[in-house]
Amino acid sequence: MLLSAHSVALHAARTSAEFAALISALDTDLNAAIARKAELEKADDKAIFGDGDLAEVRDALANCNSEIALYEKAIGLADERRIEAARNEAAVDIEALGKDAKAKAADLSKRWKKVYGLIEQARAELFECDALRRSLIANDGEFEKARRPDLRVNLTTLRREAMAGPRASIPARLSRPAIQADALLLSFLSLGGPLDNRSGIRAQTKGVPSNADYRHQPAGD
């Protein structure tokens, strides 16, 4: 059988890569057969004028043509199966990608819920900090009246010392919204940030005596 050298690969091929390798091997043998055909055609020309056995040459040429046709058919069929295998593999890849996306979405949802919880926890802590801070400011007034400035608490120093410490490094690839959110979060820990008792912050909150007023500011203000 002309394809006996490829019989194992022909029976075993399943993936697009395996069919591509089989086609390459078949194509190599096809090119060799085409080269032999060219030589036999030259021999046929010579045999017509008595240089060689014409019948033998033509028999070999017929066999060579059959071999070429068989290789071409095998290559064509293998290519069809390669295309089908590639299509099936692409479908499997899409399904795998879909499962991966679903898993990542579930993880993202879980992490967003955690972020929500942490933000709400931070808000609650900020409310408590604000209440304690206002109480200490009131105490400072009493200390001034009693002429005991040594008992006053430096609230700015207290906050800065409490918030001093290492900062997590930013990942190499971070989206613009994430960078902006990170900058906003860091502003609460930084000098001159929203929690710093500076004139700029007081100017921003001028005319807004309570949190309730913030909630009822007209849109666009």
**DSSP conformation class of 195:** T
pLDDT at 2: 59
Helix (H, G, I), strand (E, B) or coil at 168: coil
Per the CB < 8 A criterion, the answer to whether 28 and 71 are in contact is no
Cβ neighbours of 173 (radius 10 Å)? 6
pLDDT at 117: 96
Mind listing the pLDDT tens digit of every residue in the chain (221 residues)? 457 778 888 888 899 999 999 999 999 999 999 999 999 999 988 888 878 788 888 999 999 999 999 999 999 999 999 999 999 998 888 989 999 999 999 999 999 999 999 999 999 999 999 999 999 999 999 999 999 999 999 998 898 889 888 988 988 888 999 999 999 998 888 877 888 765 434 433 444 343 333 333 443 43
pLDDT of residue 64: 92
| 3-class secondary structure, 68 | helix
Give residue 12's pLDDT.
87
Q: Residue 74 contacts by C-beta under 8 Å, 6 or more apart in sequence? A: 3, 6, 10, 26
Nearest alpha-carbon partner for 197 in 151, 157, 163: 157
Q: How many other C-beta atoms lie within 10 A of the C-beta of residue 34?
A: 14
Q: State residue 115's pLDDT score.
A: 94
Helix (H, G, I), strand (E, B) or coil at 150: helix
Measured from the Cβ of residue 121, the count of other Cβ atoms closer than 10 Å reads 10
The residue length of the chain stands at: 221
Full-model pTM: 0.55
| pLDDT score, position 53 | 84
Tell me if 33 sits within 8 A of 64, measured CB to CB.
Answer: yes
Give the Cα separation of 19 and 128 in Å (integer).
Answer: 70
Cα gap 86→19, rounded to integer Å: 10
